[in-house]
Amino acid sequence: MTILATSRRVLSTGHLRVQPRNAVCQARWESKAVEGVKTVHDTALPSMRQNKQAESTDRQTVRPLVQVSRGAQNAQTQADKTPWLSEAEEAKLDTMRDAQSEIRGVLDTVLRQFSAPIRYAFAYGSGVYKQSGYGASKPMVDLIFGVSHPDHWHALNIAQHRNHYSFMGTLGANAVSFVQDRMGAGVYYNPFIEINGVVVKYGVVSMSTLSSDLLNWDSLYLAGRMHKPTLTLRRDPLMRISKQVNLTHAVRAALLMLPKTFTTEELFVCIASLSFTGDIRMRIGGENPRKVQNIVEAQLPLFKSRYTSIIEGLPNLEYIGQNLLQQNMAPTERASMLRKMPNNFYDRLLKQGRKAGIRLPPGFGAERVNTERLVEVDNIGQIATKAVESIVAWPALTQSLKGVLSSGLTKSVSYMRAKNNKYRNN
């Protein structure tokens, strides 16, 4: 009860209101809330490490490092070291982190130009992290501002930066906030804004919308972007927990789509592709068709660093060689993993499974049977992909259409032209 109470408090922080639709969702939500808190607690302790042994039936033993003598600890570290980063990748990661510090300093000056309170902020995309296949031109920097009260925030920001807004600014903060919350994925973008010599596109989102997407995969619009490396500019305790839960969901979803044995790069490509699955921009030429591969190739050390603790903490996943992973394909193990996924993903997976002809009875009592039937079919990867696509497609489409209102027609056309030219020329 203590863990459950804690999880409820965590999920309600920052105006987040998670309200299961019925008793079935309530029970699933409670079980996953407990699991989410346990997972974050286990992976967040810096003085603990996972003792994973292939021959052990209990693969969740945690061994305090302080119990190992210094000499034995060094020897054990060498013996058990996970083959994550080569020396070249370690050097590349150090270089990337130095660049992060420099970029963070520049973007901190950008954030200080806003009088409206920003509770949480991060930067993402090719303007922050280099992607393979692109030239030396400086792309626009993508920013996300998490705020407590969007209508109040926009009122303050319109008064200070009216030139950042399209004609929507003339209609006032309430109109801007209405478009933000009621259309698309709950984000309002102002693109092509030059601040202190840096061209940025900043999106404003309520903390409740952001938190809910990370935990529940409502749209995967921001949750999917946060599967990839991001640069945190303003920190928030709730986001630290929600981000970890979101990354764990991403690994588990990828495992449903991958075979028994796969490389770390294949895992990260699968994870990075989740937010692009069903995105109309990938179909009409609004994005580079090799965008996912470009992201992973250029940022592989960052991906490895980002997902280390999660992969080592999952009991159904282990290393069997240099950058080679193997998952437990036992139906009971995979079904158990599936039951820990967000309700929205699970519900859509059931729908896609029924479309594929799998007999899946309704009701919470049938959940164990349904999950085991789903993971036993050969095309579970395709079914899971379609489930993700059904989450992403509509919010991605309506968010793109909303750009005409939030950015104005001229900026929207310029933005799409820049996106097309960027990958056609590279």
pLDDT tens column, 212-241: 999 999 999 999 999 999 999 999 998 999
Distance CA 247, CA 249 (A): 5
- In this predicted structure, which of 152-161, 280-289, 302-311, 393-402 has the lowest mean pLDDT? 280-289
Any bridge partners for residue 49, and if so which?
63
- Alpha-carbon distance of 393 to 401, in angstroms, equals 12
Q: What is the pLDDT of residue 348?
A: 97
What is the Cα–Cα distance from 367 to 28, expressed in whole angstroms?
Answer: 9
Locate 297 and state its tokens.
């190739």
pLDDT digits (tens, 9 = 90+) for 274-299: 999 877 766 665 567 788 999 999 99
| Among candidate residues 35, 2, 4, 41, the one with its CA nearest the CA of residue 241 | 41
3-state helix, strand, coil in the chain (%, to 5): 60, 10, 25
Q: Of 317, 313, 344, which Cα lies nearest the Cα of 333?
A: 317
What's the pLDDT tens digit per position in 364-374?
789 999 999 99
Residues 6+ apart with CB under 8 A from 49: 62, 63, 65, 312
Tokens matching residue 172? 């006032």
Indicate the SS3 state at residue 229: coil
Determine phi and psi for 240, rounding to 5 degrees: -60, -45
User: SS3 for 55?
Assistant: coil
How confident is the model at residue 15, as a pLDDT? 39
Task: Supply the pTM of this predicted model.
Answer: 0.79
Output the six-digit token pair for 412: 């929207």
Task: Give the CA distances from residue 350 to residues 83, 199, 276, 344, 345, in Å, rounded to whole numbers and listed in that order.
Answer: 37, 44, 21, 10, 9
Distance in angstroms (rounded) separating the CA atoms of residues 418 and 189:
16
How many Cβ atoms from other residues are within 10 Å of residue 126's Cβ?
21
What does the chain come to in residues? 426
Q: What is the per-residue pLDDT across 91-142, written as a single tens digit (0 to 9) for each?
A: 999 999 999 999 999 999 999 999 999 999 999 988 898 776 555 567 899 9
Predicted local confidence at residue 412, as pLDDT: 57
| pLDDT at residue 211 tops 60 | yes
CB 221 within 8 A of CB 275: yes
Question: CA separation (Å) from 61 to 3, 179, 314, 402?
Answer: 19, 49, 11, 49
Q: Could you tell me the CA-to-CA distances from 213 to 154, 224, 278 in Å, in that order? A: 22, 9, 17
Does the pLDDT of residue 404 top 70, yes or no?
A: yes
Element (H, E) at 425: none
Of the candidates 317, 426, 384, 344, which has an alpha carbon nearest to the alpha carbon of residue 25? 344
**What single-letter DSSP state applies at residue 129?**
S
The pLDDT assigned to 402 comes to: 86
Measured distance CA(272)–CA(207) in Å, rounded: 23
User: What pLDDT digit, counting tens, does each position of 144-164 carry?
Assistant: 999 999 999 999 999 999 999
Tokens of 140: 């626009």
- Identify the pLDDT of residue 363: 80
